[in-house]
Structure 1
């Protein structure tokens, strides 16, 4: 189960965005930075959703989806402009990791549960690390496992939308709190899946 496998099938929906960014002179690196800005704004909205007004969760959800969409567009734009490079790939992945960290940080700060935030962010970062570490030992980049980044962003966005109408606590946690539990458990599980897959491939 990973939406990353669907990327080749959404290419036709990218064309208007790629053409638009190309016309205004936006570079793929610029789109990557813009995606990161969306993540920062999403983190702020998650913080406000937990501390001020739950309606902010809806804005956070929209911004998370924008981050994910722009993360697809930047690669397509690089291919369209013929400037895809190892440097651009590096920048994209670094900004993606920081985006993951700030979004989860915003979620944790909003509900004031930093321990859950720590467990969630380490699970997410380890999932991504194991995906790219496979390349470092001579394998292909690993995108498989229970939940990839595209899945994760989709789930965070959906929960963000639901957190506004579904307020209150359930089993001692709000919906964003349960989201952090999910990210922690599934993140570490997916990281272990990728580790054992890579380990087996090396034998």
Structure 2
């Protein structure tokens, strides 16, 4: 015979455990209510008091205290850098058309900062290709940091990638490994590195109008390098340009970490983090890169026309 309580069950099947009358009628069991109340009181007793920025009523996404400490550290580092820059002397800089934004004094100062590291890498016989591919790895991490919204970290990773880009060339020249093969590998890896960084940057601004500026900056940066490569293939030496690779690293890297600081310092006032500084840096990078690509094309065309005449 079928179970009378559940006529649809097969013969021999049981309807399962029966609930108490209180639960069937929708009345909570006294023991269950008491246990729930006890758990609620225990949970309330274990709650930790708010600390740090949350104790000040700042939204959880804001970290003005941490940003203030980081700003002090960065300020000290900048002051020391300016002191070293003031004691750096160079003969003269380029005076031709479209000189780079970072003059010879800045470049000489930074190479002086990197000189001890370069010396140690030469002593350790580190192959330049290792530094080149390390730059690619750091650029991928920078793109991932942009994607995840870790803007301050992404800025420093971008600066580190640019530093490795400088070191690999210096080590190659001192090790006697500089040549056409190394130049080819370096150029190819540089393009992949730029793509990885801009990919993460575009993912971060995917719902913002700044995404258009990211696309322009990525395309213009590639055109800066392509114009030089094409001109050199036609026999025209082309090294001029306002926004070369070091300038692009500086604009994006420093713009990112400055945006990370400003976002959290201004967060208590605005109520949420904002990365308007990073957006402005991307727009500036797009404009400078586009200008540099067009200027290089104009200079190369003038040289080719003069040679043909």
Match of 1:196 in 2: 298
Match of 1:53 in 2: none
Change (3 A) 1:101 1:4: farther
1:153 to 245, 249, 253: 249
Is 1:102 aligned to residue 196 of structure 2? yes
Match of 1:42 in 2: 142
Greater shift after overlay, 146-155 or 179-188?
A: 179-188
1:3–1:148: 8 Å Cα contact kept in structure 2? no
2:159–2:254: 8 Å Cα contact kept in structure 1? no
Q: 1:3-45 deviations in whole A, cap 9, x for unaligned? A: 3756466544333222322343420011111111111111111
1:124–1:188: 8 Å Cα contact kept in structure 2? yes
2:259–2:275: 8 Å Cα contact kept in structure 1? no
**Consecutive unaligned residues in structure 1, runs of 5 or more:** 50-55
Q: Which protein is richer in helix relative to its size?
A: 1
- Equivalent residues in 2 for 1:60-99 (5 A)? 60-99=154-193
Larger Rg: 2
In structure 2, what is the Cα distance between the partners aligned to 1:69 and 1:43? 16
Q: 1:149-198 deviations in whole A, cap 9, x for unaligned? A: 111101111111111133389xx983333333222222222100000001
Q: 1:66-86 deviations in whole A, cap 9, x for unaligned? A: 111111111111111111111
Change (3 A) 1:118 1:15: same
Normalising by structure 1, what TM-score?
A: 0.85
In structure 2, what is the Cα distance between the partners aligned to 1:143 and 1:2? 13
1:13 to 89, 106, 113: 113
1:181 to 283, 287, 291: 283
1:163 to 243, 255, 259: 259
CA RMSD of aligned residues (A): 2.3
1:4–1:148: 8 Å Cα contact kept in structure 2? no
In structure 2, what is the Cα distance between the partners aligned to 1:47 and 1:11? 31
Normalising by structure 2, what TM-score?
A: 0.57
Comparing both chains, which one has the higher relative contact order based on Cα–Cα distances under 8 Å and sequence gaps of 6 or more?
A: 1
In structure 2, what is the Cα distance between the partners aligned to 1:173 and 1:22? 40
Change (3 A) 1:152 1:18: same
Match of 1:119 in 2: 216
**Consecutive unaligned residues in structure 2, runs of 5 or more:** 1-99
Secondary structure in 2 matching 1:3:
coil
